[in-house]
Amino acid sequence: MRTEIGLVKKIEPSKVLIEADPDASCTTCEAKHGCMMSSETKKRYIWIETTEQIDVGDKVEFTIEEKAMILSSFLLYILPIIMLFLGIAGSVMLYGKSNEGAMAIGGTIGLLAGFIIIKIISHLIQNKSMFIPRLVKVIYKKK
């Protein structure tokens, strides 16, 4: 499990909106320049369900399953590329290598199919406990 720290920005019944800085591991990552999460100015906003008494401005500690982050990254970054190439390969098998128009259409169809698969999988896993961030504790209470 990855433990992170964030600031409570909004409170709704039974859940809070946490503003989290980019993870500390981002600064040492080799791929940080190509990653959407690595920018020092980008904040992440995460809804976390809780029954604890929390106020806006409190600093909290929360956890996220590493397996969930890896699977989410695969779904968002790798699956569309795989589907793009499968669409191109399918059009080559049907129409041959010389039909570039068919390859472009096949790639587009494959990419769109990838996005549809992501939407379906996201809907299926959204309530699985592995994918739900958990509030660990309040580190600092705003006075």
Tokens for 8? Answer: 């409570």
Average pLDDT over the chain reads: 84
Name the residue with higher pLDDT: 133 or 85: 85
pTM for the model stands at 0.66
Task: Report pLDDT digits (tens) over 44-79.
Answer: 888 888 888 888 988 999 888 888 888 888 998 999
Task: Report pLDDT digits (tens) over 18-37.
Answer: 998 766 555 555 555 555 55
